[in-house]
Structure 1
Amino acid sequence: MAATAAHTAALGGATPSVAVASAPAPTPATPAAVAMGGLTNSSLYVGDLDASVEEDHLYDLFNQVAQVVSVRVCRDQSRRSSLGYAYVNFGSPQDAASAKDILNFTPLKGKPMRIMFSHRDPSMRKTGLANVFIKNLEGSIDNKALHETFAAFGNVLSCKVAVDANGKSKGHGFVQFDTEEAADFAIKQLNGMLLNDKQVYVGHFIRRQERGGANGEQKFTNVYVKNLPETTSDEDLHMLFKKFGVITSCVVMKDASGKSKCFGFVNFKNQEDAASAVKELNGSSLDDNVLYVSRAQKKSERVAELRSKFEQERASRFEKMKPSNLYLKNLDDSINDEKLKELFSEFGTILSCKVMLQPQGTSKGSGFVAFSRPEEASRAMSEMNGKLVGRKPLYVAIAQRRDERNAWLQAHFAQMRPTGAMAAPPLPGGFHPGAPRLAPHQQLYFGQGIPPQAGGYGFQQPLVPGMRPPNFIMPYHHLHRQGQAAAAPRVGMRRSGGGGGNPPQTQQQVYIPVGPMHLH
């Protein structure tokens, strides 16, 4: 024991403070505890090992305490990777006990080892009769601190705080005693007490197979109670539930200041008693407070249940309302909820009617009307769509969810868009892409604003109202008269200086059609 204390001091460990009236004295070792305490067992189980720990690492460490006979790291048969635990065998039970006391929770490769005597009897590991479950643990409590806390109530065979992938505590853990009496004693003394200033729940561990019964029915012993009066104490809660059966633990949860959180847990010894308590007390009154009593759920179960319930209600609501819900837009500003209901009430039973409003309270010009039957909505849509209401024609359609509306719009625009990236059609000869494109019936007058157009090679043409673009050719309106085409200059061509037989050189010009003209 002195060696253990010295080793603890060397590691800097500190036992968590437990708010109990008086620390119970350790129970004397029973014959069963002596049999399993190491006097006849010279093999140690070493768990929570880092994946990189090898046999020689364990041998070098344990051999410093006592002579090691053999070491075996358990590995996956296919990949030969470490399973995170090993067995270390000594020549005598005394050496094994000494190594366990000194090296338990010592870090190896950055992870504290969890050491216990190896139990070859599988019934000892699987019965769970002396296994204790602890939840609401403070984050700094590790395996060593939990072991030191519960060792005062009996011989601890195994102790573990559950951690996530990053090694952070999940807030719950397990302690296995050698006898049921020691487990019951620990539950009685520690349940509801403050462990590092945080109230903990301590109760019997229930195996996963026992949590669910046949035909999908839930088997449970732990009962959750909420909406308790603030004055309800642990004793009051016990008095309320004790008529249903033997209670192993009962606690009202409190905050850091000791004030009740108005909910608690009651753990029964028998599952039938817990079910009876839920059936009888759920919805009952306590000091004018209506109690909610149900099976205690894990947080993950509660979140999954709420998510499933929300999705079902959402799907049911849209399935029910979709063919009967009308969307309206282009509403006149004078239309409010009452007038809208009056307009559509002749078509059937209206379940809800709403004009959408701006934050300032003015109408957005849109709204919804929900009928009790799809036939009513269909008749209202056929008769009211396009009808002049006030000063505006009304638009009425079946309401769609946003995702459905977006999908419809995408499909609609996909049909309008060309299937491939098509090149622009060639412009008439001589027209520069920088020129503004006008429809055949449009006329361009000098001095009017010309919209910006994309220039050649992606550059913008800087056109100013009233300014002629570069290389501007003034068109001749008299060219359309017959017989004068030969005398007119050729549009789009320039003659060479000598006017000789050289072929004319084409030059790219900008043409602005200002009126109808004919080229001959």
Structure 2
Amino acid sequence: MMQQPGGMAPPPMGMDQQQPPQQQWMTMPQQPHFWPQHQQQQQQQQHYGALPTNSAAGGAADEVRSLWIGDLQYWMDEAYLSSCFYSTGELVSAKVIRNKQTGQSEGYGFLEFRTHAAAETILQGYNGALMPNSEQSFRLNWASLGAGDKRTDDSPEYTIFVGDLAGDVTDYVLQETFKAVYQSVKGAKVVIDRLTGRSKGYGFVKFGDEREQQRAMSEMNGVLCSTRPMRIGPAANKKPMNAPTQNGKREALIYGGLGLVSAEMIPV
């Protein structure tokens, strides 16, 4: 046996390859019980090699395979995100969006998976679950407008502002509160403080029908969501990006997952 300097034997072959790409302090999240495909795919990989990432892997080339992940803490980088989904065997890549000038995380990123089916299973199983080594919950959504839909950037969207939300109201709770009444609801987003991980007490709901949006502004104002009556107001509707306004500023519509996260005025 070859001896390293100092008489120490080298580690067994392949040991490094067996270690997951994670920092030693990180606790791997438990593989969810709802993941039915992982063991079968591991067996396929052992016998046939890695699964392809194109349409042969179980979907058309234009199917959405990427998820948006939001409300990331400043220290959550690509290595951390990769470790969170390592046990699924389905993650292709992870990307944290950073400020081009400061290099600091913008608080969101994107995850690409092998297939649309894998991404959908991850979305349904991980969204809202506690992230490892953090009190923050996973906030996941499709990186496009819908599950498996092609992007239709010219489709109209009508958004309302919802304020005075209770601290336990999540995206799902807010969405279902409106979706139970209005069929055209496309999605909802509760705005979260990136530093504390807590709700800021307001959010947005997106509609596909302008008439339902207008109805919701009057009919849902003062209606209870969880333990508090909601305060409904208008929000910027979808329009071409970088469209200048009369005061020389542009309205930025920030999208994540199902759609509108917030609307704010940003200097040109």
2:25 & 2:79 partners in 1: Cα distance? 9
Q: Distance in 1 between matches of 2:184 and 2:124?
A: 13
Shift of 1:174: 1.9
Cα distance between partner residues in 2 of 1:155 and 1:259: 30
Correspondence 1:160 to 2:88: no
Alignment-derived partner of residue 205 in structure 1:
143
Partner of 1:281: 216
Q: 1:175 aligns with which of 111, 125, 145?
A: 111
Q: Which residue of 1 aligns with 2:66?
A: 131
**What letter matches 2:202 in structure 1?**
F
Is the 8 Å Cα contact of residues 211 and 219 (structure 1) preserved in structure 2?
no
On the 8 A contact 1:228/1:263 being kept in 2, the answer is yes
Matched, 1:8 2:21: yes
- Residue 42 of structure 2 is aligned to residue 29 of structure 1: no
SS state at 2:122 partner = helix
Q: Does 1:264 align with 2:200?
A: no
Counterpart residue type for residue 264 of structure 1: G
Q: By how many angstroms is 1:152 displaced?
A: 4.4
Equivalence for 1:291:
232
Length-normalised TM-score, structure 1: 0.33
Within-5 A mapping of 1:67-82: none
Question: 1:225-261 deviations in whole A, cap 9, x for unaligned?
Answer: 4313436623652442122349897553444667541
Alignment of 1:288-327 (within 5 A): 289-292=230-233, 294=235, 304=242, 308-311=245-248
**One-letter identity of the residue aligned with 1:172:** Y
Paired position in structure 2 for 1:101: none
Matching residue of 1:63: none
Structure 1: gaps spanning 5 or more residues: 41-92, 98-115, 313-520
SS of structure 1 residue aligned to 2:107: strand
Per the alignment, residue 230 of structure 1 pairs with 166
Letter in 2 for 1:158: S
Number of residue pairs aligned between Structure 1 and Structure 2:
221
3-state SS of the aligned residue for 1:134? strand
Partner of 1:241: 178
Structure 2: how far apart are the matches of 1:3 and 1:249? 44
C-alpha separation in 2, matches of 1:233 and 1:38: 44
Conserved? CA contact 1:29–1:155, under 8 Å = no
Pick closer, same or farther for the CA change 1:260–1:175 going to 2, 3 Å: closer
- What SS does structure 2 have at the residue aligned with 1:210? coil
Output the amino acid matched with 1:205. Answer: A
Cα distance change of structure 1 residues 119 and 285 upon mapping to structure 2, 3 Å threshold: closer
Can you list the C-alpha shifts for 1:76-135, whole angstroms capped at 9, x where unaligned?
Answer: xxxxxxxxxxxxxxxxx4xxx6xxxxxxxxxxxxxxxxxx96648699684243321112
Paired AA for residue 135 in structure 1: G
Letter in 1 for 2:72: L
Q: Is the 8 A contact 1:130 1:178 kept in 2?
A: yes
Matched AA of 2:114? D
CA distance in 1, matches of 2:75, 2:47: 34
Q: TM-score, normalised by structure 2?
A: 0.56
Instruction: Select the structure of larger CA radius of gyration.
Output: 1
Taking only aligned residues, the RMSD between alpha carbons, in angstroms, comes to: 4.9
Amino acid at match of 1:204: W
Higher relative contact order (CA 8 A, sep 6+): 2
Structure 2 unaligned segments of length 5 or more: list them.
1-13, 224-228, 250-268
Could you say what secondary structure the match of 2:19 adopts?
Answer: helix
- Relative distance call for 1:135 and 1:27 in structure 2 (3 A) is same
Cα distance per residue 1:444-474 (max 9 Å; x no partner): xxxxxxxxxxxxxxxxxxxxxxxxxxxxxxx
In structure 2, distance between residues paired with 1:151 and 1:247: 34
Does the 8 A contact of 1:162 with 1:172 survive in 2? yes
